[in-house]
Amino acid sequence: MKNCEYHQIDPQTLSTPNPTPPPPPCAERTITRAKRKWEAFPGRNRFCCDGRIIFARQSGVLPLTLGLILVTSTLFFIFDCPFLVEHLTSCIPVIGGVLFVFVVISLLQTSFTDPGILPRAGLDEAADIERQIDNSGSSSYRPPPRTKEILIRQQVVKLKYCFTCKMFRPPRTSHCSLCDNCVERFDHHCPWVGNCVGKRNYRFFYSFIVSLSFLTAFIFGCVTTHLVMRSQGGNGVIFALQESPARYPFSHCQLELVVCFFSVWSILGLSGFHTYLVASNLTTNEDIKGSWSGKSGSEGSGNPYSYNNIFTNCCVVLCGPMPPSLIDRRGFLPPDDAVPAPPLAEIEQPPLEAKSDINMGPGHLSPAPL
């Protein structure tokens, strides 16, 4: 339909003196609007702002997360801060404001950043991989092996074939069934932030949960202090106690307390768990599966990605260089591509060493030393 509309307002056709022939059907048009790659993205993500922002399709819980943070913080700033500033210190709203801004920015960055999606293999690449798999040298049919093994720091790591993306997944990559993408260094799919958490947005996610822990604990502490001071007196609140309780309705305090009380423990626990993961250079996915602890049948010879140093692991995970997004979502599709090829075929492929080499030298995929 868009092509039809384009021809109807074509200035060349308007300026032609001869009667113009009726426009041909859309299928025969040669002039087409150049499509961007996000418009034909094969995964289940959504895009807005012409592909500048990406988020998962099932992001319905994200407004709830944002709403809880906004409502709780607003109640705190409106009802608790004036009292605490008057009777304690004026630093309280400043600290709360900084934490609040940090939490919201981290949340939005986690939600709207490409988590490290790998582009699917193009038709040629997929056919090439299939050929390599089938080329087993045996005349009798046998099911093609769908795993490959590579060595990482003298440790055998299995690469599984992704039937959706038509490629062997690089190490630490997993296919998110909700987003329908392979994601590098896949941690988990978080419905609260409405996105996968992976290689490119894990640092934002970690900042989010840690700052949210501080914000929740801070508000919880301030509201409790407010209630104690108002109910028990002391600390120069005699005048405040003489005021009408109706002027300071306590229902907002109760709401804040309930939200903070039930969230602070889970968020603190989550932050602690992810701090352990960061210090160990592990992902949630690996920890749950027990990839390096022997739970999954491996020898349990340890995490090959760990530097065996907590500080180095933290630096690598949180402060390492931000890898570029591999889905060139604002790039243009080939204009005369008759076959709707996978839109990301032109993009430089991720380090799929397994395509060419099955066994690699030790340390080939090892993290580079700092």
> Measured from the CB of residue 118, what is the shortest distance to Zn ion in angstroms?
7
Out of 182, 190, 222, 260, pick the active-site residue: 190
The β-bridge partners of 160 are: 147
Q: Which residues contact 102 (CB under 8 A, 6 or more apart)?
A: 207, 211
Query: Of the two residues 80 and 114, which places its CB atom closer to Zn ion in the complex?
Result: 114
| Residues between 185 and 214 that touch Zn ion (CB under 5 A) | 189, 196
Query: Of the two residues 7 and 188, which places its CB atom closer to Zn ion in the complex?
Result: 188
Cα distance between residue 333 and residue 38, in whole Å: 9
> Judged by CB under 5 A, does residue 162 bind Zn ion?
yes
> Judged by CB under 5 A, does residue 178 bind Zn ion?
yes
Cα distance between residue 209 and residue 76, in whole Å: 19
Q: How many C-alpha atoms does 270 have within 13 Å on its Cβ side?
A: 18
Reported in sequence order, the residue ranges of the chain that DSSP labels E, i.e. its strands, are 46-48, 53-55, 117-118, 147-152, 155-162, 167-168, 174-176, 181-183, 188-190, 195-197
Query: Of the two residues 152 and 182, which places its CB atom closer to Zn ion in the complex?
Result: 182
Among 165, 223, 267, 327, binds Zn ion (CB under 5 A): 165
Among 84, 99, 179, 278, binds Zn ion (CB under 5 A): 179
Cα distance between residue 316 and residue 110, in whole Å: 18
> Measured from the CB of residue 352, what is the shortest distance to Zn ion in angstroms?
12
> Judged by CB under 5 A, does residue 36 bind Zn ion?
no
> Measured from the CB of residue 111, what is the shortest distance to Zn ion in angstroms?
11
Cα distance between residue 302 and residue 306, in whole Å: 8
Among 75, 129, 176, 253, binds Zn ion (CB under 5 A): 176
> Judged by CB under 5 A, does residue 344 bind Zn ion?
no
> Judged by CB under 5 A, does residue 317 bind Zn ion?
no
> Judged by CB under 5 A, does residue 175 bind Zn ion?
yes
Cα distance between residue 353 and residue 159, in whole Å: 10
> Measured from the CB of residue 104, what is the shortest distance to Zn ion in angstroms?
22
Of 74-82, 173-181, 212-220, 244-252, the window that binds Zn ion (rule: CB under 5 A) is 173-181
Q: Annotated catalytic, 190?
A: yes
Does residue 339 contact residue 308 with C-beta atoms inside 8 Å?
no
Query: Of the two residues 41 and 100, which places its CB atom closer to Zn ion in the complex?
Result: 41
Query: Of the two residues 54 and 151, which places its CB atom closer to Zn ion in the complex?
Result: 54
Q: How many CB atoms lie within 10 A of CB 53?
A: 16
**Structure tokens belonging to residue 189:** 């799919």
Cα distance between residue 216 and residue 291, in whole Å: 33
Question: What's the one-letter identity of residue 61?
Answer: V
**Structure tokens belonging to residue 218:** 């801070």
Of 17-25, 27-35, 98-106, 160-168, the window that binds Zn ion (rule: CB under 5 A) is 160-168
Q: Roughly how many angstroms between the first and final C-alpha of the chain, as a whole number?
A: 54
Of 156-164, 200-208, 306-314, 335-343, the window that binds Zn ion (rule: CB under 5 A) is 156-164
Among 121, 182, 267, 345, binds Zn ion (CB under 5 A): 182
> Measured from the CB of residue 49, what is the shortest distance to Zn ion in angstroms?
20
Query: Of the two residues 283 and 306, which places its CB atom closer to Zn ion in the complex?
Result: 283
The SS3 assignment for 55 reads strand
- With CA atoms as reference, report the closest residue to 201 among 270, 290, 105: 105
Query: Of the two residues 75 and 190, which places its CB atom closer to Zn ion in the complex?
Result: 190
> Measured from the CB of residue 3, what is the shortest distance to Zn ion in angstroms?
32
> Measured from the CB of residue 56, what is the shortest distance to Zn ion in angstroms?
5
**In the block, which residue shows the tokens 């992810």?**
274
Among 74, 90, 164, 231, binds Zn ion (CB under 5 A): 164
How far is CA 134 from its chain centroid? 35
| Catalytic residue annotation | 190
Q: List residues near Zn ion by CB under 5 A.
A: 162, 164-165, 175-176, 178-179, 182, 189, 196
